[in-house]
Amino acid sequence: MLWIIYCEDRDDGKAIREATREEHLRYLDQHEDVLVLGGALLADADPTRTGSCFVLNLPNRAAVDAFSLEEPFRKAGLFKRVTISRMRKGQFNPSAAPATAEGE
């Protein structure tokens, strides 16, 4: 079952994001078996990170909540808002989303 976690950073969260980044990346590596897609949310006109988004394949809401609550950015207090929703895979076209350079 697919789930999306949409996380918005606190306005003063840049230092938290930078200090927790390596732990965050290790956590995602540990969960690569359920992480379908993940990435930073970006400001419209520049590469400023404004949040994070995860699409996960997990069996139920309890598993998603556990993932989210243990995610290092969230544990460190980076997010001002976290929204979790179950989703249905409709269209899926990974080739339409080319890889981007770091920071974009």
Q: Please provide residue 18's backbone torsions phi and psi, each rounded to the nearest 5 degrees.
A: -65, -40
Domain boundaries, the chain: 2-88
Count other C-beta atoms under 10 Å from residue 51's C-beta: 21
Q: What is the pLDDT of residue 91?
A: 83
DSSP structure class, residue 34? T
Q: What is the pLDDT of residue 50?
A: 96
Q: What is the pLDDT of residue 104?
A: 52
Q: What is the pLDDT of residue 101?
A: 55
Tell me which residues of the chain have a pLDDT lower than 50: none
Alpha carbon separation from 21 to 43, 57, 82 (Å, rounded): 18, 23, 18
Please give the Cα distance from 21 to 99 (Å, whole number).
Answer: 20
Q: Give this prediction's pTM.
A: 0.89
Residue range 2-88 forms a domain whose CATH class is: alpha beta
